[in-house]
Amino acid sequence: MDNQELLKSVKEKALVWLTEQYDETTRNEVKQMLEAEDPTLLIESFYKDLEFGTGGLRGIMGAGTNRMNIYTVGAATQGLANYLKEAFPDMPQISVVVGHDVRNNSRKFAEIVANIFSANGIKAYLFDSFRPTPELSFAIRHLGCQSGVNITASHNPKEYNGYKAYWADGAQIIAPHDVNIINNVEKIKNVSEIKFKGNPDLIEIIGDKMDQDYLDAIKTLSLSPEINKKYSDLKIVYTPIHGTGVKLIPESLKNYGFTNIIHVPEQDVPSGDFPTVDSPNPENASAMAMAVAKAKEVGADLVVASDPDADRIGCVIRDTNGEYVLVNGNQIVMILLNYLMNRNAELGRLTGKEYIVKTIVTTETIKSIADANNIRMYDCYTGFKWIAAVIRDNEGVNRYLGGGEESYGFLAEEFARDKDSVSAISLMAECLAWAKDKGMSFMEMLQDIYVKYGFSREEGISVVRPGKTGAEEIVAMMKGFRANPPKELGGSPVIIKKDYSDLNKTDLRDGKVEKMDFPTTSNVLQFFTADGTKVSIRPSGTEPKIKFYIEVHGKMADKSQYYAATEAAIAKIDVIKKELGI
Q: Are 304 and 314 in contact (CB under 8 A)?
A: yes
Distance CA 489, CA 491 (A): 5
Q: Out of 95, 106, 147, 154, pick the active-site residue.
A: 154
Q: Are 369 and 400 in contact (CB under 8 A)?
A: no
Query: Residue 502: what are its φ and ψ, rounded to 5°?
Result: -125, 5
Distance CA 37, CA 39 (A): 6
| DSSP conformational letter for 484 | S
Three-state DSSP state, 425: helix
Which secondary-structure segment (H or E) carries 545?
Answer: strand 545-554
Three-state DSSP state, 306: strand
Active site residue 154: yes
Distances (CA, A) of 314 to 151, 230, 231, 280, 515: 22, 25, 22, 11, 36
Report CA Rg, the chain.
24
Cis ω for the linkage preceding 240 (within 30 of 0): no
- Chain centre to alpha carbon of residue 355: 21
Distances (CA, A) of 513 to 127, 258, 468, 529: 50, 53, 35, 17
Write the DSSP assignment of 205-253 as a string of letters.
EE-HHHHHHHHHHHHTT-S-HHHHHHTTT--EEEE-TTSGGGGTHHHHH
Type of residue found at 55: G
Specify the pairing of strand 160-167 against strand 203-206: unpaired
Distance CA 368, CA 85 (A): 46
Q: In what order do the strands lie in the sheet with 399-405?
A: 376-380, 354-359, 399-405, 409-411
Q: Are 455 and 367 in contact (CB under 8 A)?
A: no
Distance CA 477, CA 525 (A): 11
Dihedral of alpha carbons 432, 436, 439, 442, sign: positive
| DSSP conformational letter for 173 | P
Catalytic center residues: 154
